Amino acid sequence: MRPQPDCLGHLDVSPPLNAAEATYLRTLRPPLDPDDVGSALGRPASGCCWTVCREGCCLLLDEVTRNGDEVAWLRWIISHLLKRGADAARSRNLRFDRFTFDHTVSGVVVGSRGRGELFALTVRANRVSERLLTATPQARPSGRHGARAVVIDLATRRPTRR
């Protein structure tokens, strides 16, 4: 089991979710209903770790149900339920009759998964990216008291010795 990360931030949803959309997203939280096959195509196997604010204008990473599938769930929610041309819009399932499929998600959530690992989830116009900000510390170069340090010139992305 992965350690549960601590996080800050939220993702804005514009226009806000209507009552049917917000209610459906809340039903995806654990435990999942095994009979819910109407929208399961490509859905992560674990329960959803995202929750909707009361007004339906933002998504928050839930501290209790977080399971390491944050990115997979977010991509599925956006592509299957929220954006224009979402998969569920073409499903003809009556469950999605009141969905508008016209939402744009944007924002940043930054958190920690423990062991010194920090991450940032960034969403811009429904495009999700994850960046690892730090990893397990590596041995530091000994500088002037031993081996020469290898410095990476970020402009050219080439290592140089100093």
Determine the pLDDT at residue 150: 63
Determine the pLDDT at residue 152: 65
Beta bridge partners of residue 153, listed in sequence order: 158
Sequence-distant (≥ 6) Cβ neighbours of residue 152 within 8 angstroms: 158, 159, 160
Determine the pLDDT at residue 147: 56
Residue 133 Cα to chain centre, angstroms: 15
Over 90: is that where the pLDDT of 27 sits? no
Determine the pLDDT at residue 37: 42
Give the pLDDT confidence of 34-81 residue by residue, as tens digits. 555 444 567 887 788 899 999 999 999 886 656 678 899 999 999 999
Q: Is the pTM of this model over 0.95?
A: no
Dig out the tokens for 31 from the structure: 């435990």
Give the pLDDT confidence of 93-137 residue by residue, as tens digits. 898 999 999 999 999 999 887 667 788 999 999 999 999 886 555
Percentage helix, strand, coil for the chain under 3-state DSSP, each rounded to 5: 20, 30, 50
Higher-confidence residue: 6 or 102?
Answer: 102
Give the pLDDT confidence of 136-160 residue by residue, as tens digits. 555 444 545 455 556 666 766 666 6
Determine the pLDDT at residue 62: 82
Determine the pLDDT at residue 50: 92
